[in-house]
Amino acid sequence: MKVLFIGGTGIISQAISKQLLKQNSELYVLNRGNRNMDLPTNVKTIIADINEEEKVKELIKDLEFDVVADFIAFVPEHLERDYRLFQGKTKQYIFISSASAYQKPLSDYRINEGTPLSNPYWEYSRNKIHCEEYLMKLYREENFPVTIVRPSHTYDEKSIPLGVHGRKGSYQVIDRMLKGKPVIIHGDGTSLWTMTHNSDFAKGFLGLMGNIHAIGESVQITSDETLTWNQIYQCIADCLSVEFKPYYVSSSFLDAVSEYDFNGSLLGDKANSVVFDNSKLKRLVPDFAATKRFDQGVAETIEFVLSHKEFQILDEEFDIWCDRVIEALEQAKTEILKK
């Protein structure tokens, strides 16, 4: 199979690349070349900014593909460009959407591909919805061979997945845990969530590539394991061998008192209880099974992060903000309880 990935160096795409090349496929990656040192050595690189359309058109003029997958398309304009570039040059075009595009607030915590798409909280998700609508119109009217994939919270070995963190990633929360400080958890920690290891996501994605039954379809790829946020943080604390010290704050309050995008990432995503029904994926890819349990996967991630200083990125601004939120709420309790 001859494949082109646009982007190709992210959490999801790197795992797919590694598994794909074990199948003796021919993989091309088109990007600006800034992070290609992390790619397998047998990947063929096309160095270009995908937005430089005429340059890219020239670079791929003699190439055709079985699959083109764009991992860095976020707005319909990106897809309009891809359609101009790859119409007639690929047997399948895969767009990476997002499970955050599903209806918020949810009318049913059980999510499948039939769940309505609507997210008034997060522009990112609304843009993904617009992208899906554009592509399905192309499929219906132009026979463009589209497959839409919806990942949820997917993680790898380099970043510990959490609910509430600052702009510099999740490590500052880990630092708070290691120092015995309380960590902020949205809500009361009992809402349901799903974490998917990128190696499991890759299994499902590979099963959709070159799959004639996936053309014209939207498919979510997640683990079948469902956890509460308390369980997620407890697993992390156990791996760190520290006491779990949660400090519960409502998602709406966190959004109201921060400059972080909690309106989107919490109210429009993680604050909602979700349980994914992957029946459709399993019909299309009968041998799919997510086998990396969260406590196992996050243990590997924590071991990697703690042994690689370059991934231990501190965020003093977020740390101070957490302390201020906790202090303010504790003071409010004291004032309310005064007689």
Query: Residue 33's pLDDT is what?
Result: 81
Task: Identify the weakest region by mean pLDDT among 12-26, 262-276, 318-332.
Answer: 12-26
SS3 91: coil
Which pLDDT band holds residue 339 (cuts at 50, 70, 90)?
A: low
Report domain extents, the chain: 2-155+197-221, 171-194+226-274+292-333
**Does residue 157 register a pLDDT over 70?**
yes
Give me the chain's average pLDDT, please: 96
pLDDT higher than threshold 80 for residue 308: yes
pLDDT recorded at residue 114: 96
Question: What pTM, to 2 d.p., does this model score?
Answer: 0.95
Beta bridge pairs of residue 5: 29, 69
Report the alpha-carbon distance of residue 21 to residue 13 in Å, rounded: 12
Domain 171-194+226-274+292-333 homologous superfamily, CATH: UDP-galactose 4-epimerase, domain 1 (3.90.25.10)
pLDDT at residue 5 greater than cutoff 90: yes
Q: Which CATH superfamily is domain 2-155+197-221 in?
A: NAD(P)-binding Rossmann-like Domain (3.40.50.720)
**Which backbone phi and psi does 20 adopt, to 5 degrees?**
-60, -45
Q: Which residues contact residue 339 at a Cβ distance below 8 angstroms, ignoring those fewer than 6 apart?
A: none
Mean pLDDT of 198-211: 98
Q: Which residues contact 144 (CB under 8 A, 6 or more apart)?
A: 83, 87, 93, 135, 138
Whether residue 76 has pLDDT greater than 80: yes
